Amino acid sequence: MEAEAAAGAGPAEGAPRPLQEEQEAAAVFAYRPAEDLVWAAAGQASPFDRALQRGWEERLARGLFRYRLGELQTRRLPGPLGLVAQLNVPRGSERRRPQEVRSVRQSFDPAQFNFTHIRPGEVLFALQRVAAASSSRVLVAINVSPLEFGHVLLLPEPSLGLPQVLSAEALRAGLEALLLSGQPGFRVGFNSLGAFASVNHLHLHAYYLPWQLPVEEAPARPLRPEAGLYVLERGVPAPGLLFYSPAGRPPGPLARRVCRLTDHLARGDVAHNLFATRGAAPEGGPPGARPGLRVLLWPRQASFGAKQEAAFNVALCELAGHLPVKTAQDFHALSEAAALRLIRRCLLPPPRWARLQQELADLLPPPCDGAQDD
């Protein structure tokens, strides 16, 4: 469904406005999961894509971003994985400095920058699930330091001041946003604190990238297949957990299963990144066949403080094989081997990773749990 009721005239750009007022003034994109989710993404723009892209381009024309993002130089690195490198100099130099954090479970601090401080106009619309029992909404706002075209933030009820700890409700909204798009290159992800989340206020990322990534087709080893849980080890930049859901299944049960694991990681102060995309079945498939939903979860070494890697930081997109590179020199010189060395420095030691796989698999409920959506 198209966004409804365009926002009315507000204060001049740059003038402060309370978030509640901004949220109430936002256009509403209402959708019905049973009718509006796109299970066969053929590359045609959906109503959701049109609303997001039109609003994003209009904000770009109004100068609401930190830099004007043009077409990015992109190349596949030679090698068996086919990693996708992009040159994005301004994101490396002009993005907001990440907040200092010391724990994956750090409490929300209203004195720090958070999404109640975003400027009028940064909100594109409020995503509202018509079938939901509650009236909660997810704001879709531009990321003012974009990775790629259409890079937005999904902000679940920002006025609640929730810390950057993933919830099942927030993940379901992200997965449904992914499935509202008709573009197979639209992806959604989450960085925990300690895994290069730059703001301690609950948010997910979503963006378009018209390049296939290795994690979308690589075959996986069964771990708890009856619960949809597998391990990706071969043909990917970093080993991780894979949840797979075939086309047509509602995302709610999948989100709850994933968040059983992320809740456990957060309680144990284990940093983690998540990447959701359309993908092949766990056993792999023919090139380009991506009939279901893949959710990748990487427990990893925590990186606290404002550390900067030489060529790129390792967060959700880098672990999936999309490498936004900060300098032209690094972009042209980067090899697959050098990229993998950077990525693998952030991984858990193999003995800890092996123990954690079984520890997390044991958390999952019997298959009958979550058979029906909310």
Distance of CA 70 to the CA centre of its chain: 22
Return the amino acid letter for 351: P
Distances (CA, A) of 218 to 286, 298, 320, 321, 358: 10, 15, 11, 12, 21
Q: Which of 184, 188, 185, 186 is nearest to 154 (CA)?
A: 188
Return the amino acid letter for 366: P
Q: Which residues pair with 278 in a beta bridge?
A: 293
| Cβ contact 165:108 at 8 Å | no
Please provide residue 329's backbone torsions phi and psi, each rounded to the nearest 5 degrees: -60, -50
Q: Which of 151, 201, 203, 322 is catalytic?
A: 203
Q: Pairing between strand 84-87 and 322-325?
A: parallel
User: What b/e readout covers 184-193, taking b as 16+ CB neighbours within 10 angstroms?
Assistant: bbbbbbbbbb
What six digits make up the tokens of 62?
Answer: 């109004």
35: DSSP letter = H
Active site residue 205: no
Q: How far, in Å, CA of 299 to CA of 261, rounded?
A: 10
What six digits make up the tokens of 29?
Answer: 């994109």
Residues 6+ apart with CB under 8 A from 10: 17, 22, 25, 120
Q: How far, in Å, CA of 213 to CA of 184, rounded?
A: 11
Return the amino acid letter for 59: R
Q: For residue 56, count other CB atoms closer than 10 A to its CB.
A: 24
Which sequence positions are flagged as catalytic? 203
